[in-house]
């Protein structure tokens, strides 16, 4: 089943940061079925979120033994970028266009700058040290 937002809904719905989507029964009961929570910073390449049954809330829904939601149930949520010029994966913070900077807000941009400083100052462990820290992980993945 595919649900699409109208063009007006798309224009009025800009997501940023922590997001909670509540899925309800359509019709008589309007009862909450489940929730999906994510942060827009973790939307993967391809611009979508994939949530299997184990990613749904509340936790009870995961333990329904397939009575309410089948075990192979998957929700995909696809997103559009708000800007055709800036890339969330490649555009540096200072190179964002004025519209993106305005939409993101100076406070959030300052948080991103702070995170970037921390990442740049961080020494990543050597492959040898990484293997000592994670002995059960394939060493080729730690290069």
**Which chain residues interact with Zn ion by CB under 5 A?**
83, 85-86, 97, 100
Q: How far is the CB of 88 from Zn ion (least distance, A)?
A: 10
Closer CB to Zn ion, 43 or 100, in the complex = 100
Q: How far is the CB of 113 from Zn ion (least distance, A)?
A: 17
Supply φ then ψ for residue 18, to 5 degrees. -75, 130
Q: How far is the CB of 138 from Zn ion (least distance, A)?
A: 38
Q: How far is the CB of 104 from Zn ion (least distance, A)?
A: 9
Give residues with Cβ within 8 angstroms of 42, minimum separation 6: 49
Token match 């509340």: residue? Answer: 58
Compute the chain's Rg from CA coordinates.
20
Closer CB to Zn ion, 33 or 93, in the complex = 93
Closer CB to Zn ion, 97 or 134, in the complex = 97
Closer CB to Zn ion, 22 or 97, in the complex = 97
Token match 């397939």: residue? Answer: 66
Taking residue 34's Cβ as centre, other Cβ atoms within 10 Å add up to 21
């Amino acid at each position: 089943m595919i649900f699409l937002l109208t063009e007006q809904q798309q224009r009025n719905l800009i997501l940023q940061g922590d997001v909670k989507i509540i899925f309800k029964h359509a019709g008589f009961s309007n009862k909450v079925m489940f929730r999906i929570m994510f942060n827009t910073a973790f939307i993967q390449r391809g611009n979508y979120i994939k949530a299997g049954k184990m990613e749904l809330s509340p936790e009870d829904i995961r333990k329904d033994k397939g009575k309410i939601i089948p075990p192979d149930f998957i929700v995909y949520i696809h997103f559009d970028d708000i800007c055709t010029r800036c890339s969330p994966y490649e555009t540096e913070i200072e190179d964002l266009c004025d519209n993106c900077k305005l939409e993101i807000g100076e406070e959030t941009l300052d948080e991103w700058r702070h995170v970037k400083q921390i990442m740049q100052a961080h020494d990543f462990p050597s492959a040898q040290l990484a293997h000592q820290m994670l002995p059960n992980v394939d060493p080729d993945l730690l290069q």
